[in-house]
Amino acid sequence: SVTPDKDRNIAHARSAIQDAASKGAQLVLLPEIWNSPYSNDSFPVYAEDIDAGADASPSTAMLSELSRFLKITIVGGSIPELSGGRLYNTCCVFGTDGKLLAKHRKIHLFDIDIPGKITFIESKTLTAGETPTIVDTEVGRIGIGICYDIRFPELAMIYAARGAHLLCYPGAFNMTTGPLHWELLQRARATDNQLYVATCSPARDTGSGYVAWGHSTLVGPFGEVLATTEHDEAIIIAEIDYSILEQRRTNLPVTKQRRGDLYQVVDFQRLNSQ
Ligand SMILES: NC(=O)CC(=O)C(=O)O
């Protein structure tokens, strides 16, 4: 659960991570925007300069310290980041030595207008990230997306093509799109790409300006929901077995059956680096 009290949010996340690690978690995933309310008014106020060191970013300093101390990998949800005068919605990944392994800035901003239901324009305050993020960790190769990024199948396909075992999406879907799309999209990304998908949402707070759907989930490579929760705060712990990926890909060899002669997704980052 996330409140307007940033110090409390950091302390609360700290104790939840410790709790998960004490139950055996080797990889911990946090929700989207966990140190701040999810609102355009809040992003500039709660933003931290992640690259400017621990004093400028108490939220990521805590994640780094805990990942080193507990010797776990942390996919640190996301926080508002201030960098070069711009704001981003940013996920930091820390390795077991506490080092920052990767930083993903939400690529697709959440600009939607469903009249009478929900209007949210992240681009009022935030700038979109420019790079897909795939990272090698002690618990596998992980592709990162943040919330709205999950709606873009090409990003997940590129991660799969680059050998991802797991996609992590911190996300805060809402009461309109959440019931219809949240689980559907996770299962679609997992099924299309035959890999694991993990999501983590803030708990639902009906008193806040943006009401999150909740329902953090782990989906397996056959599209099966392996673990999930409701909308109240919870810690879900589940086992991930990467040996199943090969089995599923042998059972259902869609990657080999793809008709690259008829259609292709272009990985511009790879193309430009060649
Ligand atoms: N909050 C988001 O970024 C995305 C979302 O709620 C949706 O796609 O629906």
CA 116 to CA 135: how far, in whole Å? 40
Question: Where residue 271 falls among pLDDT bands split at 50, 70, 90?
Answer: confident
pLDDT over 90 at 206, yes or no: yes
Residue nearest to atom 6 of ligand 1 (CA): 173
Choose, from 32, 81, 122, 183, the residue flagged as catalytic: 32
Q: How far is CA 255 from CA 104, 134, 220, 252, 269, in A?
A: 26, 19, 17, 9, 21
- Binning pLDDT at 50, 70 and 90, where does residue 273 land? confident
pLDDT attached to residue 78: 98
Would the CB of 182 count as within 6 Å of ligand 1? no
Ligand 1 pocket, mutate which of 177, 181, 189, 208 (most atoms under 8 A from CB): 177
* pLDDT tens digit sequence for 147-162: 999 999 999 999 999 9
DSSP one-letter string for 242-269: THHHHHHHHHS-HHHH--TTT-----HH
pTM of the predicted model as reported, rounded to 2 decimal places: 0.97
Q: Which pLDDT score is estimated for 187? A: 98
End-to-end CA distance of the chain: 44
Q: Which amino acid is at 178?
A: G
102-156 confidence digits (pLDDT tens): 999 999 999 999 999 999 999 999 999 999 999 999 999 999 999 999 999 999 9
Q: Which of 181, 182, 165 is nearest to 217 (CA)?
A: 182
The Cα 34–Cα 164 span in angstroms is 25
